[in-house]
Structure 1
Amino acid sequence: MLILISKKTTKKMILLIAVALMAFVPFIANTHAAKASQNNDQSEKLIQVGKKELGKPYRWGATGPHSFDCSGFTKFVYKHSISKNLPRTAQAQYNNSKKVSSNDLQKGDLVYFGSSKHSISHVGMYIGHGKMIDAQNRGVVTEKVHAPWWHLVSCSRPANLNH
């Protein structure tokens, strides 16, 4: 069965479809912008809480608020900024999070160090511009992610912080 449609009818159909699609574009764009803004707010909250802890002393096994070890620090920051509960140890945080490429690091992501993915010995929180906040023998400090004394094993995004 062959249906013939005039050029005039075809143009009207195309126009109708275009108008219908244009009605949805602002909705989709606003939804994406609102989500990006919320995720950016989460990243900023993580960094804000992390920076408040700068200078606190290091103590192995400590989870705050007066002193921290590395995974105690990241657990504390996630819990007190975005109510996300992370596992207690650096290895468990690594094992239970969504991995991301180091080329795709975003503020609030976690960076893991050690000799291999089976031997994670340190974790810090990425704050942008190649830097992280972490708790180590000098206490809670800001330092470069890529340093001669660290071997970066992996990175993760424990919360949905996509920008």
Structure 2
Amino acid sequence: MNRWNNVGMKWIKTLMKAAAVCLCANFILITPVMAAPEGLDNAALEQLIRDRTATPAVRTGDDASDLIMNAMGLLGVAYHFGGNSPTSGLDCSGFMQYIFRRSMGVTLPRSSRQMATVGEAVGRASLQPGDLVFFSPGGGGISHVGMYIGNGRMIHAPRTGKNIEITSIEQGYWSRTFVTARRVKH
């Protein structure tokens, strides 16, 4: 069984830099191939490609689909302690900062412990996609954050040696270490 079937979305498998990658089909727009304009030298053509593939501008609104779409686009990015950029790697709080700033224009505090004071408290039974979920993996207070994406799952940057991934919060390790959740709005 394909492990992605449990997420509740359709997935497309593609190749990127010779590695198989699964992308959420709900957030992919298939467009026709465009021919390069005539008369462009390599530098101008490369700039045109960069312009057309640049990350879209920040969208406003508290629509959870924007948060999830931007987060899913970073699946597979390496964890890097203290990281706050997809190019150099992201840690859990850097990942959430990046997604909320890009999707909603909201600036979150840098640490997961500080993030757990932002927004409105949400009970575990009331989680909605886009809610921040907080954990105490070592038992010494909140030290990890992810984003709930629905169906009992979160997307997060887990730890050194791992990449941004989707995992269940309803059983096992993440269920046992769950502390609280917050809903952040504009």
* TM norm structure 1: 0.69
Letter matched to residue 179 of structure 2: V
Match of 1:142 among 151, 154, 166: 166
Match of 2:133 among 107, 111, 122: 111
- Aligned residue number for residue 59 of structure 1: 80
- Aligned residue number for residue 25 of structure 1: none
Q: 1:95 and 1:117, CA in 2 relative to 1: closer, same or farther beyond 3 A?
A: farther
Contact kept in structure 1, 2:118 and 2:182, CA below 8 Å? no
* TM norm structure 2: 0.61
For each residue in 1:95-122, what CA deviation from the matched residue of structure 2 results, as whole angstroms up to 9, or x when unmatched?
Answer: 2332110111011000000069971010
Structure 1 distance, partners of 2:139, 2:128, is 20
Structure 2 distance, partners of 1:53, 1:95, is 25
Q: 1:96 and 1:130, CA in 2 relative to 1: closer, same or farther beyond 3 A?
A: same
| SS at structure 1 position matched to 2:115 | helix
Contact kept in structure 1, 2:137 and 2:144, CA below 8 Å? no
Structure 2 distance, partners of 1:85, 1:141, is 23
Structure 2 distance, partners of 1:51, 1:115, is 23
Q: 1:134 and 1:115, CA in 2 relative to 1: closer, same or farther beyond 3 A?
A: closer
For each residue in 1:138-163, what CA deviation from the matched residue of structure 2 results, as whole angstroms up to 9, or x when unmatched?
Answer: 21001111342221000110116xxx
- Aligned residue number for residue 3 of structure 1: none
Contact kept in structure 2, 1:114 and 1:152, CA below 8 Å? yes
Q: Superposed, which structure 2 residues align to 1:94-105 within 5 Å?
A: 94-105=116-127
Structure 2 distance, partners of 1:116, 1:109, is 22
- Higher-Rg member (1/2): 1
Structure 2 gap ranges (5+) = 1-60
Q: Percent identity?
A: 33
Tell me by how many angstroms 1:59 deviates.
Answer: 0.6
Letter matched to residue 152 of structure 1: F
- Aligned residue number for residue 20 of structure 1: none
Structure number with the higher helix fraction is 1
Tell me by how many angstroms 1:56 deviates.
Answer: 0.2
Deviates more, 1:137-146 or 1:71-80: 137-146
Contact kept in structure 2, 1:70 and 1:124, CA below 8 Å? yes
